[in-house]
Amino acid sequence: MKLKNRTAVITGGTRGIGRAIALAFAKEGANIAIIYSGSVERAQEVCSLARKNGVKALSYRCNVADFSETEGTVSNIYTDLGGVDILVNNAGITRDGLVMQMKEQDFDEVIAVNLKGAFNMIKHTARRFAKQKSGRIINISSVSGLMGNSGQANYSASKAGMIGLTKTVAKELASRGVTCNAIAPGFIDTDMTGAMPESAIEAAVSLIPQKKMGKPEDIAALSLFLASDEAGYITGEIIRVDGGLYI
């Protein structure tokens, strides 16, 4: 198994992409720490499914936008599971609206969770990764951060910021044996996209050369590769998984 005896932390790990990553990692032998802010029932379900692979799986309610709360949660994970080898920053929210109509609070909240949340998690694990001279950091960005998207100034800015964060962290930690890469998903079939009107979904799919939405498992498969020993010489990369949307 590719991740046997390793421990992975996944933020936003109760549904969609985060859930798929957590379960894929568990199948490959990784102990799992799920960080969530919503449904405890969803968190317990993911942990229960992960444990069927003979691994440890624990969940932690935490607002990743809160620096102190994140620090305490990371400390608890280290105490409970004995260490961390892989960090996946997946937690994200949307507050869509045109710039002319967007409220300051909507902009700030998205940046706080999506971008500062990733910084907080990296900040509280980076020193430990550097000390153990190993670690994998995977940031879930978006093609919206590469190409922009009307009505998503806040979301696109947060995901573009993750790209800059990824490249900087990759440079800072490379000599310590730590890699940091980002995945930029395109239009993925999740609860977030499922809430869109059917007409909007059809319009979005029409722009994709493959003419279909991606699956959370597509992102999980790449995450698994980046977390494995096979990707040890890959760092600072932004890899699109978008069916050709942004070519």
The catalytic site residues sit at: 155
On the 0-12 / 13-18 / 19+ scale of CB atoms within 10 A, 33 is buried
Calpha distance 148→141 (Å, rounded): 12
Element (H, E) at 58: strand 57-61
* pLDDT tens-digit series, residues 139-159: 999 999 999 999 999 999 999
Calpha distance 152→102 (Å, rounded): 9
Least Cα distance to 170 among 228, 106, 238, 108 occurs for 238
Q: How confident is residue 191, by pLDDT bands cut at 50, 70 and 90? A: confident
pLDDT of the residue at 57: 98
Q: Give the residue with greater pLDDT, 84 vs 199.
A: 84
Q: How confident is residue 199, by pLDDT bands cut at 50, 70 and 90? A: confident
DSSP for residue 151: T
Distances (CA, A) of 48 to 23, 118, 157, 178, 216: 10, 26, 35, 30, 19
On the 0-12 / 13-18 / 19+ scale of CB atoms within 10 A, 236 is middle
**Which residues are CB-contacts of 105 (< 8 A; sequence separation ≥ 6)?**
none
pLDDT at 39 over 90: yes
**Which residues are CB-contacts of 83 (< 8 A; sequence separation ≥ 6)?**
7, 128, 132
pTM of the shown model: 0.97
pLDDT, average across residues 42-54: 98
The C-alpha angle 235, 33, 194, rounded to 5 degrees, equals 80
* Superfamily of domain covering 7-240: NAD(P)-binding Rossmann-like Domain (3.40.50.720)
Q: List own/partner pairs for 203-207 with CB under 8 A and 24 or more apart.
A: 207/245
Q: Provide the residue ranges of all domains of the chain, joining segments of one domain with +.
A: 7-240
